[in-house]
C-alpha cells in the first residue's frame, strides 16, 4: 500500500493530466439510485453529527430526549408543554446563573461548532494557503487533521505531515490560517512524541489583557506561580537549576517579572531558606522599594556591584567544593539556603563600565555564577534592554529566556533563538498597553515559545510585602579586594661580548 495513504490525504487530482474517460448514459434509474445513495450518505453523516452534538452538550441532549419520549407518550400537546417549560427554564437559568449557563451550554456549543468547522474546511484551507504537495501521480496531498483538542481559550490541532510539507511550511502560512479561523494567533510547534506530527495552537481569546494576582502558597522552586499563560493556566516558572534572562524594551515590564518572582518567593525568603542578592546599577531606584526582602543589596558604586558578584561567585565555588562527591544538585535548607542573584541591567556590568579591569572582573564573576551556580543552588536572574551579542556575551548560558516587547525580529532571535519567531514568538507585535506580556523558552524543557503575562504588583503592595515577609538575615556588601598587577619586568640581559 502506498505510503501516502498513511501520511497526509489526497484531496483531488489534476484534471488536465487524468485519462479521458468515455461517460455512458446509465439511464434514469441508475442516476436516481446514485442520487439517493449520495443523499443517504450525507443524511447519515448529519444524523451522526447531530447525535454527537446532543451528547457533547448534555442540557440540549436531555431536553431533546425528553421531547421525544413525551411525544411518543402524550402526543403533540405534551411536546408543547415540555417545550414551553424548557424555554422558561433556560431563561431562568441564563438569568440567575449566567456562569453555569455559559460553562455548560454556551461554551460547549461553541466548542462543538469549532470542531465541525475545523473538520469541514480543513482540506480547502490547507490548499488555499499553499500548505500542500504534489506526488508522482500528480495528486494534491495536504496534511491530515488527526485530532482536535478544544479549550475555552486555545484549541490544539494535531496534524500529520505529508511528504513535502514541514512545520516551517505551515508556520510560514500562520497569518492565513489565523484569518480563516478568526483567531488572534496561530502558532506551530513540534509534537512531543511523534516526529512526523505537529501541533497547531489556535489562540481564540486574549486572556492576558487583564492583570491578575496569584495567592502565596507553599514555595516550590520547580513551579513558581508568577503569572498566567495564554490558555488561562498558571505560568509556573522553574528556578531550581535554572538561570533566567529577561529582555525587553523600556517599559515592557521587566520589573513585573522581578516583583512577581519575589511575591512567589516571599514565604521562603521569610523562612530563611531562600536568600536574594540584589544588584541594582540604577542607584537603587528599582530594588530600593523593597530592600527588606534582600539578603544583600548593592547599588552605591560600580565597585560595590562587582564586589557583590564576586562574593556570590566565591560562595558558589565554596559550595561546589562542599558538595563534591555527595550530590549533583543542591537541596536548599535554612543552614544551606538557595541564593538568587538579581541583576537589574546586566549590560551595565558586562559592557558599560569604563574601568576595563573592573568590567573584566564583573564579567568573570558573572561567568562563574552562570557556569557553576545551577547545581550548587545559585540562580542568576538577569534583566537586559539591549540583547546584542557585543552587549551581553554570556546570554547563551541562561537556560530560561523571557522575551518581553522588543523592537525587531532580529532581537527576538537574539533572545529566544533563531527559529523562535517562526514558531510564533512575535515579541515585536506585543501591545504597548500590556506590560509584562512575554514569550518564554526553556532550553531544558520545551523549546517551544509560550506566551505568558507576569502578575503586576504596585509599589505599595511590594512595600507591604517587604514589611510582612522580610528576610531574617541581612549582610553588607564586602569591600572590593584590590588586585595589584605584577609590575616587575624581566631584566634585560645584554651580551657583553
> How many Å apart are CA 319 and CA 224, to the nearest integer?
24
Q: Which residue has the higher pLDDT, 486 or 64?
A: 64
Give the alpha-carbon dihedral of 245, 247, 251, 257, to 10 degrees: -20
Q: How confident is the model at residue 308 (pLDDT cuts 50, 70, 90)?
A: very high
pLDDT confidence of residue 101: 81
Query: Any known ligand binding at 357?
Result: no
User: C-alpha 439: how far from its chain's center?
Assistant: 6
| 485 confidence band (pLDDT: 50, 70, 90) | low
**Residue 266 confidence (pLDDT):** 92
**Does residue 43 have a known ligand-binding role?**
no
pLDDT on residue 496:
44
Cell of 299: 547599588
SS (H, E, C) 182-228: CCCEEEEEECCCCCCEEEEEEECCCCCCCCCCCCCCCCCCCCEEEEE
- Coil, strand or helix at 25: coil
Q: What pLDDT does 404 receive?
A: 94
C-alpha 459/C-alpha 456 separation (Å) is: 10
For residues 245 and 403, is the Cβ–Cβ distance under 8 A? no
Around Cβ 18, how many Cβ atoms within 10 Å?
Answer: 10
Instruction: Give the model's confidence band at 10: pLDDT under 50 very low, under 70 low, under 90 confident, else very high.
Output: low
In three-state secondary structure terms, 3 is: helix
Would you call 293 helix, strand, or coil by DSSP? helix
Provide the pLDDT for residue 5: 42
Q: Is position 241 annotated in a ligand binding site?
A: no
Element (H, E) at 118: helix 107-128
pLDDT value, residue 105: 82
pLDDT given for residue 424 in this prediction: 82
Give pLDDT, residue 453.
Answer: 92
Is the predicted pLDDT of residue 218 greater than 70, yes or no? Answer: yes
Report whether 47 belongs to an annotated binding site: no
Residue 17 has pLDDT above 70, yes or no: no
pLDDT category of residue 14 using cuts at 50, 70 and 90: very low
Which pLDDT band, with edges at 50, 70 and 90, does 217 fall under? Answer: low
On the question of pLDDT at 296 being above 80, the answer is yes
Report percent pLDDT > 70 for the chain.
Answer: 89
Q: How many helical (H) and strand (E) elements, i.e. helices and strands, does the chain have?
A: 13, 17
Cell triple for 104 = 455548560
The confidence band for 21, taking pLDDT boundaries of 50, 70 and 90, is: very low
Least-confidence region, from 57-71, 154-168, 222-236, 448-462: 57-71
What is the average pLDDT value for the chain, to the nearest integer? Answer: 83
Task: Give the separation between CA 376 and CA 242, rounded to whole angstroms.
Answer: 11
Mean pLDDT of 159-181: 89
Q: Is 254 annotated as a binding residue?
A: yes
pLDDT of 8 reads 63
Average of pLDDT values for 54-79? 81
| CA–CA dist 279, 289 (Å, integer) | 13
Domains of the chain, each with CATH number or no CATH = 224-468 (3.40.50.300)
Predicted confidence band of residue 31 (pLDDT cuts 50, 70, 90): confident
Residue in the block written with cell 470542531: 115
pLDDT tops 80 at residue 270: yes
377 is in an annotated binding site: no
**Residue 394 cell numbers, joined:** 554570556
Question: Higher-confidence residue: 78 or 489?
Answer: 78
- How far CA 86 is from CA of 53, 73, 109, 148, 404, in Å, comes to 18, 18, 17, 31, 50
**What pLDDT score was predicted for residue 276?**
96
Rounded-to-integer distance, Cα 103 and Cα 90, Å? 14
Per-residue pLDDT at 497 = 39
Span 111-155, pLDDT tens digits: 888 888 888 888 888 988 889 888 777 788 889 999 888 888 889
Share of the chain above pLDDT 90, in %: 29
Q: Which are the contacts of 381, defined by CB distance < 8 A and separation ≥ 6?
A: 243, 244, 246, 258, 261, 340, 341, 342, 343
Residue 153 sits at φ, ψ, to 5 deg, of: -120, -30
Residue 72's contacts (CB-CB under 8 Å, 6 or more residues apart) are none
Sign of CA dihedral 324, 330, 333, 339: positive
pLDDT recorded at residue 383: 92
In this prediction, residue 273 carries a pLDDT of 93
Calpha distance 238→443 (Å, rounded):
12
Amino acid at each position: 500500500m502506498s505510503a501516502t495513504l498513511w501520511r497526509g490525504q489526497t484531496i483531488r487530482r489534476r484534471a488536465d493530466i487524468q485519462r479521458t474517460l468515455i461517460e455512458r448514459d446509465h439511464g434514469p434509474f441508475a442516476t436516481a439510485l446514485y442520487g439517493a445513495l449520495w443523499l443517504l450518505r450525507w443524511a447519515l453523516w448529519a444524523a451522526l453529527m447531530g447525535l454527537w452534538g446532543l451528547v457533547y452538550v448534555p442540557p440540549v441532549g436531555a431536553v431533546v430526549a425528553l421531547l421525544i419520549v413525551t411525544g411518543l407518550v402524550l402526543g403533540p400537546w405534551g411536546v408543547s408543554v415540555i417545550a414551553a417549560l424548557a424555554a422558561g427554564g433556560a431563561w431562568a437559568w441564563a438569568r440567575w446563573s449566567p456562569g453555569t449557563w455559559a460553562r455548560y451550554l454556551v461554551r460547549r456549543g461553541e466548542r462543538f461548532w469549532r470542531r465541525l468547522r475545523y473538520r469541514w474546511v480543513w482540506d480547502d484551507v490547507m490548499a488555499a494557503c499553499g500548505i500542500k504537495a504534489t506526488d508522482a501521480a500528480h495528486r494534491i496531498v495536504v496534511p491530515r487533521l488527526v485530532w482536535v483538542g478544544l479549550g475555552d481559550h486555545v484549541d490544539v490541532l494535531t496534524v500529520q505531515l505529508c511528504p513535502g510539507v514541514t512545520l516551517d511550511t505551515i508556520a510560514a502560512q500562520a497569518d492565513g490560517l489565523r484569518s480563516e479561523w478568526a483567531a488572534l494567533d496561530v502558532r506551530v510547534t513540534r509534537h512531543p512524541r511523534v516526529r512526523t506530527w505537529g501541533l497547531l495552537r489556535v489562540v481564540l481569546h486574549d486572556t492576558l489583557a487583564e492583570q491578575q494576582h496569584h495567592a502565596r502558597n507553599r514555595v516550590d522552586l520547580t513551579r513558581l506561580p508568577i503569572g498566567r499563560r495564554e490558555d488561562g493556566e498558571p505560568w509556573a516558572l522553574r528556578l531550581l537549576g535554572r538561570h533566567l534572562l529577561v529582555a525587553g524594551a523600556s517599559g515592557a515590564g521587566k520589573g513585573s517579572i522581578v516583583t512577581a518572582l519575589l511575591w512567589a518567593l516571599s514565604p521562603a525568603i521569610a523562612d530563611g531558606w531562600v536568600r536574594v542578592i540584589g544588584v541594582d546599577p540604577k542607584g537603587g531606584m528599582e530594588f530600593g522599594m523593597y530592600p527588606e526582602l534582600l539578603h544583600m543589596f548593592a547599588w552605591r558604586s560600580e565597585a560595590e556591584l562587582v564586589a557583590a558578584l564576586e562574593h556570590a561567585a566565591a560562595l558558589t565555588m565554596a559550595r561546589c567544593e562542599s558538595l563534591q562527591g555527595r550530590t549533583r544538585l543542591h537541596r536548599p535548607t535554612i543552614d544551606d539556603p538557595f541564593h538568587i542573584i538579581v541583576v537589574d541591567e546586566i549590560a551595565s556590568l558586562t559592557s558599560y563600565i569604563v574601568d576595563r579591569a573592573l568590567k573584566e572582573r564583573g564579567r568573570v564573576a558573572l561567568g562563574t555564577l552562570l557556569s557553576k551556580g545551577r547545581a550548587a543552588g545559585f540562580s542568576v536572574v538577569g534583566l537586559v534592554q539591549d540583547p546584542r551579542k557585543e552587549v551581553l556575551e554570556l546570554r547563551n548560558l541562561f537556560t530560561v529566556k523571557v522575551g518581553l516587547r522588543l523592537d525587531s525580529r532580529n532581537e527576538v532571535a537574539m533572545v529566544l533563538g533563531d527559529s523562535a519567531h517562526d514558531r510564533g514568538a512575535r515579541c515585536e507585535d506585543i501591545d504597548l498597553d500590556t506590560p509584562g506580556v512575554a514569550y518564554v523558552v526553556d532550553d531544558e524543557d520545551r523549546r517551544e515559545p509560550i506566551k505568558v503575562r507576569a502578575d503586576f504588583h504596585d509599589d505599595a503592595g511590594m512595600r507591604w510585602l517587604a514589611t510582612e515577609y522580610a528576610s531574617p538575615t541581612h549582610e553588607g556588601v564586602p569591600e572590593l579586594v584590590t588586585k595589584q598587577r605584577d609590575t616587575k619586568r624581566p631584566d634585560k640581559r645584554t651580551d657583553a661580548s
